[in-house]
Structure 1
C-alpha cells in the first residue's frame, strides 16, 4: 500500500536538529496527546528521512485515531515499515496485528515469525507471546518443551504473567515434569507481583494443600486479594468461602454480595450460585422468579449445573409454570453436557414417563451413565433396575453389589436396600446381623422405613437381642417421620403396653393418624377402639 507524505515548508536542517520523538512545530512528545494540527505532518516529514521512530509513532496515531481518522490498515503499514527497520516495539505491534487480524488478514505464521524476531532483538515481553504460540500450536507446531523454556525465560526476567504460566506448566506437567512445589513457588511469585490470576491460583493451592500445607485462612486471603483486584473467578471462590465458612466466618450476606459481583462480571458458575441464593433465600430474600431467571441465563450460556437446576424449576414449578416437557429438555441438555445429577434425573423421567414417553431401557441407560460418573443415587437406582429387572435382565447379585457400593459411599436409601437384601437373602446369603447393621445405619441417617424395620429387629430379636423399649423408640421415630406402617405399629405398642406404658388414648391417636393415611390395618384397629 502506498502512503503519500505531506509537503511541508520546513528545512532539512530543522529535521536534522529536532529530536525525532518530538513534533517539529510544537516540540511536544509524540507519545503524548497531539498538541498541534501539524503533528501528523511533522511525523511524515521525519519519515522522509527514514526515521523508524517516527514510523512507529505515526502507526500509533493511525491505530488510536489521534490527529487523524482511525485507520488500522495505515497503522499496519507503518508498523511493518518500522519493524523492517528493526524497531522493537513496532515488531511487537506488527506481530500482534497479524495475530489478531488488525489492519491485515489474520496470519498466525507471520505473527509467530515477528514474535520470534522481537525476541531475537531483545524484547523480553515477547518471550511470553512466543511461549503461547508454542503452547497452543499457533503459527508453528505445538511444542510444550519450547513453551516451557520461553515461559521460564520471561518469568526469570520479571514478567508476572509468565510466572503464572510457568507455574501452570509445573502444575500440569506441561513441557516439564510435574512439580507442585515449584508450581506453588511461581504462583506465589506471580501473586506477590500483582498478577490476579496467580492470586486465585495460589489461593487454590492453599485451599487444596497442593505444593504447600493446606491453609484455609491463607486461601481466603488470596481469594479476597484477587477478587478485590477484579478477578471474577476469585469473586466466585471468595463467595464460596463465605458461603461455607472456610477460612473465615460463615456469612451468607457477603457470599451473596460476591456471587452477585462475579455474576455481573459474567462468571457463569457465579450466576448459577447467585440463583441458588435466591432459590433458598440465603443471604437475600427468597425470590423464585429471580432464581429461575438466573438459572435460565446461566443455562443458556452453557453451564450444565444451571441446566439441571433450570429443569428442576420447570419440574416443580419453581419461579415459573410447571412444564414437564421443558424440564425433560433441560435435564437432557445437562446430561449430554456431563452433569451426573441430571443424568439421574433424566433416567427418572424415562422411568416414570414425566415430560416424555415411559422408556425403561433409556432409563436404565442413563442410570448407568450417571452411576459411571459417580452419582451415588444413580448407583442405587441402577441396582434397583437389576433387582426388579427394569430396562435390563434381573440380576440380584449385581443389584446387591451396586447397593453395597452406593451404601458405602453414603447413599441412605442404598443402606436400607442392602439391609433388605441381607434380610431376605437376595443376591447374597441371608445375614440378619448385617441386615440389622445396615437398617441401623440408614435409620440413624434419617430413613423412616429403616427406622420401622430397625424397630422390628428389636421387637422380634432379628440380628440383635430383643429389646421392646428400643423397638418402641424406633417405631416412634419412624412414625414422627411419617412412615405409615410405623404409625400403626406405634399405636399397637401403646395399645398393648409393649416397650412403654399402656395408653389407649395415644393408641387411638396413632390409629387415627394411620387411618387418615388410608392405611387399611389401622382402619380395622381404630374400629376395635370404638
Structure 2
C-alpha cells in the first residue's frame, strides 16, 4: 500500500486529509512523500520508526497515539496497546486508508479523476481488512471494498486501465477461490484471474513494472499457482529472482521455498537457507516460515519451531497450520494451542486446517464442543478446495444425515469427485451408498425414486454428449475414436432412470409421467435408435397433462404446434399453449413464421415480378404454378426455372412446418394457416 504524506514544522501530515493536524516528527529532515506504511516494530526512546521504500523517519509515540484517539472511533482504541508499537503503526495506516476512502466516497460523483481516486482508495481499504492491518481481519469487509473498487473502475475505464484495476480483480478472485467473505465460486474466480493476469503481465513488461518487485512477485505467484495462465514454475522462478534482486522480502521467501522443493529450479537447501534468512531478517512472516522449514529439513526441530512460531504469531496461515502439526505431535498438553492454530489457519482458507477443525468438531476433540453441524460445514469448505479426505467425510455424513440433511445425491457427488482421481479407495463407499439409496426407493420412498431417476438421467446425458462430441470430431476428420461404449452405457443408464421414474409413476405421480416423457424426448434428440420413440414420449406427456401437470401441458402444446402429431390442429395447439403459460414460445414462433411472407414474395418474384404478393395466399400458388407451367409448355419455353422455384419453396416449407407433405394444396394450406397465426394478437387472448 502506498500512502502520501509530508512533514511541515516538524509534524507529519497526510495528503488529502485537510482536517488532520499531523503527528509530531522528531526527525529534522523534511520528507515530501511517505510511502508504503507497513507494520514495523518501533525502536528508540518514546519513538516509532516507520520505514518506506527508501526513507526512514521517527514519530513521537504519544503524539501518534493522540492522533489515533482523535481520528479513530472507540473500537479503534479498544484493541490498541501503547506497549505494542507495531499495533500503533498499523492503526495509523488503517485510519489513513479509512479516512481517505471516506473522503473519496464523498467526491466520487464529481469527475473521472475523483472516481479513479475512489476506486484506488477502496482497494487499499480492502487490503487493510483482508490482512487485518490496524483493524480486525474481515474477509467480508475486504470483499465489500474490493467489489466497490471494481464497480467504480468499470464505470470509468475502457482502455489504458491502471494497475489497481487488475489488482482488485486478483484480490476478489483470491477470495472467491477459497470462499472467504463470499460464497466459493471457482468459475468467477477463473474469469477474474484471466483478466488480472493480462493486466499485471502487461504492467510488468513496462519499464515501470520491471522496477516494482511487488508486481513481479504477484505475476510469479500467478505462474506458480496457475492463476489466469497455465502453471509455469520456471517462469515463476525467473520473476521471483528479479524481485529478490531488488530485496523484496516476499520474493526472497518464495524463491527459498522453490529451492527447498526443487520447483522450477534445482533443489538446494543451502540456497534456500540463505534466501530465507535474508527475508526473515526483514521480519517477513513468509521468510520466517521458509526458514523454519529449512531448519526442519536439516533436522533442527527446535530452531524450526522457533521460526515457524514467529511467523504464526504474525498471522501467516501456513505457519499456523505447520505449528499446529508440530504441537499435535507433542501430546495432549498442547491441545488448546493446536485447536486455536487450526482454527486460525482454517479461517484463512487452508483446506488441511479446515479438515482438521471439522474432525475436532465431529469428535469433540481438543476442547471443542461436539457439533456435527459445524463439522459438516467445515468439511464442505475443505471439500470445495479439493481436499480428498474431507470429500469422503462429507459424503459419508450426507449419506447418514449426520449434522446435515440426508442426501444420497449430494453424497454421491462428493464421492464421485474422489473417484475421479482415486477410484479404489472410494469404491466400497459408493457401492454401499447406491445399495442404501436403492433400498429406500424399493421401499416406496417417492423422493428416493425421483432422485435415483434424475441421477441416472444425468449419467446417460453425459455419456450421450461424449459420444455425440466424438462423432462430430470424426466428421471433422480429427483423430478421435468414437466410443460405442458411451452410447451403450448411456442406454443402460437411461433404462435405469426410466425404471425408477416408472416406480414413481406407479404411485400416480404426474411428475414421474412428465420426467419419463422428457427423458424419452432427450433420447430422441440424441438420435439413439429406438422403435416408436416419438409416440412413447408423447404418451407420457399426455398422461401427465391430463393430471394437470403444467410443464407436461406446455411440452405437449409445443409438440402439437411443430406437427409431431398430425391429427392435432394448430388451433388446438395454440389454445393448449396459452393455457399452459406458453405465450413466450408462441411469440417466438410468430416472429419466426414471418419468414413465410418473405418466402412467398421471393417465390413470386421468380415466377412473375408483376404479381402483387399481397393479393395471393399460399393456396393460390398451386393453381398459379400450374398455369405458368402450362403457359410455358404451350409456348415451347423452358419451365425448369418454375420447377426449381417450386422445389426450393417446397423444401423450405417442409422444414419449417415439420411435415413430409409434398408440393400441393395440403402443404400450401398449412403454410397459410401459419401465416395467419403469425398475424394474430396473442396478448390478452383468452
* TM-score, scaled to structure 1: 0.48
* TM-score, scaled to structure 2: 0.38
